[in-house]
Amino acid sequence: MSFTLIMKAVEESGLSVWIRDSPSIFAYWFILSFHALGMGMAVGASVVIDFRILGIARDLPLSPLKGLYRIIWAGFWVQVVSGILLLIAYPTKALTNPDFYIKLTLIGIAIAVMKMIQNRVFSDSSLTEPAMMLKGRSLAVWSLVLWLGVVTAGRLLAYTFTYINYSG
Amino acid sequence: MYSAHYHLLLNHWPIIGTFIGLALFLVSLSANKDDLKQASLGLFSFIALLAIPAYMSGNAAQEFFRETPKVSMDLIQTHQGAALLALVFLEITGAIALIGLWEFSRAGKKSEAGRPAGWIVASVLLFSIVTSVLMAITGNTGGEIRHPEIIVSNEAPSSVGAAGAKVVPFVQYYVVEYSNWIWPILEDLHFIGLILILGAIGVLNLRILGFLKQLPVAPLHRFIPWGIAGVFINVITGILFFIGMPPFYADNPDFQLKMVAIVIAGTNLLLFYCTSAFRPLARLGPGDDAPLSAKFVAASSLLLWIAIVFLGRYIPSFEVYHH
């Protein structure tokens, strides 16, 4: 009961109305574009790390790739900010869709796996490259599978919602 | 200039380009000349890019002819079907050719250049021959629309033409009507392609610009075929979206701008990342700084691909003004 009232209040707020209905090119579609760019940064950089751990481009030194984590985190924060703004625009649409919770769960696990790769593979400078690859192998496979799940769940949000806003 | 003008402006290049590309490729193989091989592979990739707006602008031209009683819609549909088959085979030819071209851009050991593998040469040859035949049919059926003097009256209707007329509605049915899941799956693939492009091409560009300087350039350049795969996935899924709902895209100015940006970004990819022009960069080791000209190219490539993402996300916003 109170949950639906919160959704209603958010939806009627000035910011929500502006993102949804403003004819400005910096409203909804601009935020949505940043959400796609942030995905490209976070997932794109993760995929490069995962591919290298799995043996693609073997002559690429593995340890300097930890610099890619800066891109992953920058992309992650772009996603947090743009995602929250999109949620403010359409709270009912997202929160009444089970797919939204699947997406959030998969993001949590995917980020945890990337942290585990960072801690286990990149933080131990005593490891040789073959040892790093061996240690990171199953984590890299999981990372690819989870990111695929995140992107798919995210994309399906546009097709699986039941209510677009509070009034129906 | 109206959308229909674009079709006249663009439609001859893919046909003539395929013939010239195939002739050049055959000469380069018999003379075993690497320069000619590079030129023909580059030409195939470039016209594969140009063919995308060439095909799509045909819908605008078709809309115009709907009100012209002397023009046969059957002929247009046959032409469109042949054009779609030619387009798909040209995109496959172009993608394989681009990977073959990329092999030339690798600085091998002892400064010996890389060369495309045998299977790449064989597949480019095979697919470009099929594409040439389909392009000839596309050109001929396209010509018949406005030049009835070339129609042979008692000629049996072409079986490829008859099949061609069924191709577009067939694809449209499977993309839009057959299941509610096909479109979202194609969208998902389109985003996976986006990730491959930004991951492979974006990270290399960041290195050239001076971020991640500890990384040598040559091994990062090995990810380029993954970027090419991303472009190919997105071209194919993009063509399927277009066939599924042509009125949604054909006259959309945002979509038209996206197609222009794709031709420019793709040309940038093929010229600077997939030819021997990249070899000096491939020699940059850990800590080495790239020349300013290379940074300029890398910045333009990065901005173009990001602009394409933005233009893509804005496509539905222009629908409002149409309906």
**3-state SS, one letter per residue, for B174-205:** HHHHCCCCHHHHHHHHHHHHHHHHHHHHHHHH
In the numeric block, the tokens 């030049």 are attached to B147
Contact indicator for B115, B34 with CB cutoff of 8 Å: yes
pLDDT tens across B47-84, in order?
999 999 999 998 877 777 777 766 777 788 888 889 99
B215 touches chain A (CB under 8 A): yes
As a whole number of angstroms, the distance between CA B3 and CA B212 comes to 44
Domain chopping of chain A, boundaries: 2-160
As a whole number of angstroms, the distance between CA B227 and CA B231 comes to 6
B309 touches chain A (CB under 8 A): yes
B214/A64 touch (CB, cutoff 8 Å), yes or no: yes
B216 contacts in chain A (CB < 8 Å): 59-61
A24 touches chain B (CB under 8 A): no
The pLDDT, as a whole number, for residue B307 is: 98
The pLDDT of A10-18, averaged and rounded, is: 93
B195/A39 touch (CB, cutoff 8 Å), yes or no: yes
The pLDDT, as a whole number, for residue A1 is: 57
As a whole number of angstroms, the distance between CA A134 and CA A138 comes to 8
The pLDDT, as a whole number, for residue B101 is: 94
B214 contacts in chain A (CB < 8 Å): 61, 64, 67
Choose among B121, B303, B102: nearest CA to B198.
Answer: B303
The pLDDT, as a whole number, for residue B41 is: 96
Q: Give the best residue of B102, B179, B191, B288 to mutate against chain A (max A CB count within 10 A).
A: B191
Choose among A17, A75, A76, A53: nearest CA to A130.
Answer: A53
pTM (two decimals): 0.94
The pLDDT, as a whole number, for residue A85 is: 97
Contact indicator for B17, B97 with CB cutoff of 8 Å: no
A33 contacts in chain B (CB < 8 Å): 309-310, 313-314
DSSP code at position B96: H
Four-CA torsion B58, B64, B68, B70, nearest 10 degrees? -10
φ/ψ of B113, rounded to 5, equals -75, 155
Where does the pLDDT of residue B323 fall: very low under 50, low under 70, confident under 90, or very high at 90 and above?
A: very low
The pLDDT of A95-100, averaged and rounded, is: 95
Contact indicator for A165, A65 with CB cutoff of 8 Å: no
As a whole number of angstroms, the distance between CA B199 and CA B188 comes to 16
Give the structural domain span for B167: 3-321
| A159, closest residue in chain B (CA to CA) | B184
Choose among B253, B199, B227: nearest CA to B102.
Answer: B227
The pLDDT, as a whole number, for residue B167 is: 86
Report chain B's mean pLDDT, rounded to a whole number: 89
A156 touches chain B (CB under 8 A): yes
A39/B191 touch (CB, cutoff 8 Å), yes or no: yes
Residue A1, min C-alpha distance to chain B (Å):
33
Number of domains composing chain B: 1
Poorest-pLDDT segment among A128-132, B148-152, B189-193, B304-308:
B148-152
A40/B202 touch (CB, cutoff 8 Å), yes or no: yes
pLDDT tens across B132-150, in order?
999 998 888 888 787 777 7
Contact indicator for B154, B66 with CB cutoff of 8 Å: no
Q: Is B152 exposed, middle or buried (0-12, 13-18, 19+ CB in 10 A)?
A: exposed
Choose among B289, B291, B269, B292: nearest CA to B221.
Answer: B269
Q: Give the best residue of B106, B197, B203 to mutate against chain A (max A CB count within 10 A).
A: B203
pLDDT tens across B253-304, in order?
999 999 999 999 999 999 999 988 899 999 999 999 999 999 999 999 999 9
Radius of gyration of chain B (CA): 21
As a whole number of angstroms, the distance between CA B124 and CA B107 comes to 23
B196 touches chain A (CB under 8 A): yes
Please state the ipTM of this predicted complex. Answer: 0.95
Q: Say if residue B111's pLDDT is above 50.
A: no
Report chain A's mean pLDDT, rounded to a whole number: 94
Nearest to A44 among B199, B215, B310 (CB): B199
